[in-house]
């Protein structure tokens, strides 16, 4: 396969889905992944194929190292490795820290942060061998500023920021760029818990006066894939001026 390839984790909906479609339209072979919404993953495959793109389904839990290993074995068989890794898989948890169970914490940590570690670890050897690659981590402004009643979520996103900066230094000699996008309020299912009054109040707090769309995030992800190689180790805020 002569096409460049990309893995987008958590791509059945929201930002991940928008990224997968954008990459497919840009001519990449896209490996699409999710843990539970397999029907949505199939619908994404149909959409990619309908626009002339190509993709491979990789259902699995990226928070499980054994499943990540199996996914990358399949990638290696098909393309030898990926050129771009977009770590997007993530879940939210709202509430007081004292109400959070050990199981809640473990699930959040595995999905939001450990998945980034596992996928980076699996993707890097190929990238190093060809002296080229891009890793883009989808994070949150709360990883920078912290959010009340989202302390654990904020901690996982702060972890992504630290991993991004450190890994960028480690991989720069191999011409591999590692950056993160600290998203603000994006109009996805993660924010579906908000009613219309809450949405309006939140939009008023954002200097841009609105939520961003998943497609806008996908546009930035694509731009980072063609940005100068000297741009690495950056936490790029996309929050409408919120912080």
State how far the Cα of 222 lies from the Cα of 205, in Å rounded to an integer: 28
Q: What H or E segment, with its residue span, contains residue 9?
A: none
pLDDT over 70, % of the chain? 100
State how far the Cα of 142 lies from the Cα of 157, in Å rounded to an integer: 7
pLDDT over 90, % of the chain? 93
pLDDT at 154 over 90: yes
The pLDDT score that the predictor gives to residue 2 is 74
Q: What H or E segment, with its residue span, contains residue 238?
A: strand 235-238
Q: Could you give all domains of the chain from N- to C-terminal order, each with its CATH number?
A: 5-237 (3.40.50.720)
Degrees to nearest 5, angle at CA 218 with 49 and 57:
35
* pLDDT, tens only, 80-116: 999 999 999 999 999 999 999 999 999 999 999 999 9
Do residues 122 and 60 lie in contact, with contact meaning Cβ atoms separated by under 8 Å?
A: no
153 catalytic per annotation: yes
State how far the Cα of 49 lies from the Cα of 43, in Å rounded to an integer: 10
Q: What is the mean pLDDT of the chain?
A: 96
pTM above 0.85, yes or no: yes
* pLDDT, tens only, 52-86: 999 999 999 999 999 999 999 999 999 999 999 99
Which of the residues 28, 118, 153, 230 is marked catalytic? 153
pLDDT at 1 over 70: no
The pLDDT score that the predictor gives to residue 118 is 98
Degrees to nearest 5, angle at CA 40 with 36 and 41:
80
The pLDDT score that the predictor gives to residue 167 is 98
The pLDDT score that the predictor gives to residue 60 is 97
pLDDT at 190 over 80: no
């Amino acid at each position: 396969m002569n096409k460049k390839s990309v893995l987008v984790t958590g791509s059945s909906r929201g930002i991940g889905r928008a990224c997968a479609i954008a990459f497919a339209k840009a001519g990449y072979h896209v490996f699409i992944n999710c843990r539970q919404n397999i029907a949505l993953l199939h619908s994404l495959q149909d959409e990619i194929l309908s626009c002339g793109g190509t993709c491979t389904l990789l259902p699995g839990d990226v928070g499980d190292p054994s499943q990540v290993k199996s996914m990358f074995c399949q990638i290696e068989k098909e393309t030898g490795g990926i050129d771009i890794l977009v770590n997007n898989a993530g879940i939210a948890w709202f509430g007081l820290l004292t109400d959070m169970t050990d199981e809640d914490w473990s699930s959040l940590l595995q999905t939001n942060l450990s998945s980034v570690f596992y996928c980076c670890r699996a993707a890097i050897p190929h990238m190093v061998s060809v002296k080229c690659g891009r890793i883009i981590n989808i994070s949150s402004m709360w990883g920078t500023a912290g959010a009340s009643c989202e302390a654990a979520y904020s901690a996982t996103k702060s972890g992504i920021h630290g991993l991004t900066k450190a890994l960028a230094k480690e991989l720069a000699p191999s011409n591999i760029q590692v950056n993160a996008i600290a998203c603000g309020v994006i109009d996805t299912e993660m924010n579906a818990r908000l009613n219309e009054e809450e949405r309006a109040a939140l939009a008023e707090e954002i200097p841009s006066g609105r939520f961003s769309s998943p497609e806008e995030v996908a546009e930035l992800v694509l731009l980072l894939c063609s940005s100068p190689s000297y741009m690495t180790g950056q936490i790029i805020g996309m929050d409408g001026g919120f912080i």
